[in-house]
A and B are shown apart, each in its own frame.
Chain A
Amino acid sequence: MTVTDHIDDTTPAVDPPARGRRRRRRRYTTLSKGDRFWLGVMVGVPAFLHLILVWVPALATTALSFTEWDNLAPLTDIRAVGFQNYWFIFTVFDTNLFPALFNNFILVFWLFFCSAIGMLLAYLLDKNLRGGRVYQSIYYFPVVLSLAVVGFIWKSTMFSRDRGLLNVIWPGEPIDFVGDGTKIFQFDIPFLDFPLGLSRNFAALLIAMAWRHIGYIMVMYLAGLKGVDPALREAASIDGCNEWQSFRNVVFPALKPINVVVAVITVIEALRAYDIIAALNEPRGTEVMGTLVTKSLLGEGGGRVGIGSAYGVVLLLLCLGFIIWYVYNHYRETEQ
């Protein structure tokens, strides 16, 4: 590791003679051996932990997805099988993969819709209303709860067939919203011999997840809106924009950095969804990629590491595009 010097190319207030400046820099900012050692430790220890426990396993899972292996057997039993596992999960196990993928896609769209509601609430609260802080605290509090606990709270009061409050707004016969996997709508896909659709219990979980997600996004946008120069809005209203026009053309574009963050949070949350479904024991109809990967690596099928890893890689690839987009956006602006 080559530690050079402080990033000290700022403040050229009084430009000293070149020679003097050069000498000063060398004298005060080159690092001693001890300093280099400590900087190495400061970066090395966390980087080692992070690489060994996050990146190495991610790469290992990717590698394992091209192999066949029973995780109780020794490592020498690992056998390369090429793309066979991928062929299996897209054909033989398509009844596992596609419903889970479909639920994840619904979740992405749904959480984007919720993010829009969060933005609307933030916009309304940003008007310096009386009691704005109270509203904000109420909308936000579910965010501090674990999604598993959210699942249990909703199960205990909203989902049950006898006394669940969701049945108050549900038009038909009262149903058990945890267990009822009947499809609300479904449609056929040309290359699949079974239909895909949204089940009742997953729809109920979507509402519970919205309860938590909206407040989260609202707070992000509230912070973003505080950073929008009020003069911009004033100028827009002087120019005769109505409220929608000034939001659409002035405020929303000014929120671009927050929009990027929110988009990433929304997609990653939707793809990584696991807790609430697993906590309710994964009722039929609510499977997502997160539970599918976990179940196929831990449950009865746990011996087939290759198949489980292939599911994992599908999930990883879905996340990866957004991760790269986000990191690129953030660090490109930092570089400038």
Chain B
Amino acid sequence: MSTATADSVSDQELVRRSDGRRIRPARILLHTFLITVAIAWLIPIGTAIYNSFRFYESDTQVNGPFSAPDTLTLQNYRDAWNVGEMGKTFGNTAFIVIPALFITLFLSAAVAFACTRFSWKFNIAFLVLFTAGNLMPQQVLFQPLFQIYKRVPWPDILSDTNTGNLLGTKIAVILIHIAFQVGFCTFVLANYMKTIPKELGEAAAVDGAGVLRQFFQVILPLTRPALAALATLEFTWLYNDFFWGAVLLNQGDERPITSSIAVLNGQYATDFNLIAAASIMIALPTLVVYLILQKQFISGLTLGANKG
């Protein structure tokens, strides 16, 4: 739908360009402005990348961040990786993000399906609940959440805390991620599913398909574009989570990668190039996903904003 309008716009633009092809000074001014902004945007990360390959005390601090390097080195990356136990914390992140992502998408698709394809007493009320819940500030939730987790028994075999309850386990982080993100995903998927013609479900029902078959074989395949877009977006959100990892997991080496960097910052507060190296390693997975799946990423965001 939106691609169609985009095409027609660019067609018009082409026509306009081919009949009166002159470069206006306004355009040049505009490009100058946009390029300036782009350079300003790239300075923080560009400088961080460049200097992460240099020593701080003997090089950057003496010669300045833009000077030619004395030596280029990977030492900052090695140090950050070892001191921050980044191998382990990357593992923690994967352990949390991957199940949370799939379960969230699956559960949200189920709610959105039940609320938009069928009408029952409280379907809009449920959607309102989910939408509003997702906008709540997380800080307001965690004290009672501690108390709930403390009272949920959890076998020690499945955790690394051995306290007999959920508090302090990575499962606890996965659960709150699911509970929280289901709000946003349901909202987006409900908007999307509303646009699928009702006749499709009816036709399947006529052919004798039950609710489950309608969900798995008719609606879910048609929702794939929205699911792909949401998966990209949710991956970065879950990966980037700082708060839940920091408050629910006590030890630094248990935490996901983003929360654990605070430990590094405490120990190496003044080795700025080492901090730059750590930041870049943490940023890398999301940057790679963004560069490869840019279109998915952006449509995921805007699916939530546009109605239907």
Query: Is there an interface contact between A211 and B131, defined as CB atoms closer than 8 Å?
Result: no
Tell yes or no: B157 within 8 A of A by CB: no
Given the complex, which residues of B lie within 8 Å of A322, measured CB to CB?
135
User: For residues 1 through 43 of chain B, which have their beta carbon under 8 Å from a beta carbon of chain A?
Assistant: 2, 5-6, 8-10, 12-13, 27, 30-31, 33-34, 37-38, 41-43
* B179 CB contact (under 8 Å) in A53, A124, A264, A327: A53
Query: Is there an interface contact between A53 and B175, defined as CB atoms closer than 8 Å?
Result: yes
C-alpha gap A41/B115 in the complex (Å)? 12
C-alpha gap A333/B41 in the complex (Å)? 38
* B182 CB contact (under 8 Å) in A5, A50, A315: A50
Contact with A along B249-260 (1 / 0, CB 8 A): 000000000110
Query: Is there an interface contact between A220 and B275, defined as CB atoms closer than 8 Å?
Result: no
Query: Is there an interface contact between A43 and B115, defined as CB atoms closer than 8 Å?
Result: yes
In the complex, the number of residue pairs spanning A and B with C-beta atoms less than 8 Å apart equals: 346
Query: Is there an interface contact between B247 and A294, defined as CB atoms closer than 8 Å?
Result: yes
Which of these binds chain B: A107-115, A154-162, A182-190?
A154-162
Query: Is there an interface contact between A144 and B199, defined as CB atoms closer than 8 Å?
Result: no
Query: Is there an interface contact between A57 and B120, defined as CB atoms closer than 8 Å?
Result: no
Query: Is there an interface contact between B198 and A1, defined as CB atoms closer than 8 Å?
Result: no
Query: Is there an interface contact between B211 and A280, defined as CB atoms closer than 8 Å?
Result: no
Tell yes or no: B261 within 8 A of A by CB: yes
Query: Is there an interface contact between A135 and B38, defined as CB atoms closer than 8 Å?
Result: yes
Given the complex, which residues of A lie within 8 Å of B205, measured CB to CB?
6, 28-29
Query: Is there an interface contact between B148 and A220, defined as CB atoms closer than 8 Å?
Result: no
Nearest chain B residue, comparing its CB with the CB of A121: B37
Q: How far is the CB of B30 from chain A (nearest CB, A)?
A: 6
Tell yes or no: B159 within 8 A of A by CB: no
Tell yes or no: B243 within 8 A of A by CB: yes
Q: Is the interface of A mostly helix, strand, loop or mixed?
A: helix
Most A CB within 10 A of own CB, among B110, B131, B137? B137
Tell yes or no: A205 within 8 A of B by CB: no
Q: How many residues of A contact B (CB 8 A)?
A: 119
Q: Is the interface of B mostly helix, strand, loop or mixed?
A: helix
Most B CB within 10 A of own CB, among A10, A46, A148? A46
Query: Is there an interface contact between B243 and A227, defined as CB atoms closer than 8 Å?
Result: no
Contact with A along B105-147 (1 / 0, CB 8 A): 0011011011101111110101111111101111111111111
Contact with B along A7-22 (1 / 0, CB 8 A): 1101100000000000
C-alpha gap A298/B247 in the complex (Å)? 8
Q: How far is the CB of A89 from chain B (nearest CB, A)?
A: 14
Query: Is there an interface contact between B137 and A271, defined as CB atoms closer than 8 Å?
Result: yes
**Extra inter-chain contacts (12) besides given A4-B119, A226-B2, CB under 8 Å:** A1-B122, A4-B118, A4-B120, A6-B202, A34-B211, A49-B179, A138-B38, A146-B286, A156-B52, A280-B265, A297-B143, A312-B143
Interface set of B (CB-CB < 8 Å, partner A): 2, 5-6, 8-10, 12-13, 27, 30-31, 33-34, 37-38, 41-45, 47-48, 51-52, 60-61, 64-65, 107-108, 110-111, 113-115, 117-122, 124, 126-133, 135-148, 175-176, 178-180, 182-183, 186, 198-199, 201-202, 205-206, 210-212, 215, 236, 239-243, 246-247, 258-259, 261-262, 265-266, 272-273, 275-276, 278-280, 282-283, 286-287, 289-290, 294, 297-298, 301-302, 304-307
Q: Could you give 24 example pairs across A and B, Cβ below 8 Å?
A: A1-B120, A29-B202, A46-B186, A47-B126, A54-B180, A55-B133, A56-B144, A138-B41, A146-B240, A148-B258, A153-B276, A155-B272, A156-B48, A157-B272, A162-B61, A165-B44, A165-B47, A165-B65, A272-B137, A290-B139, A293-B137, A315-B140, A316-B136, A323-B136
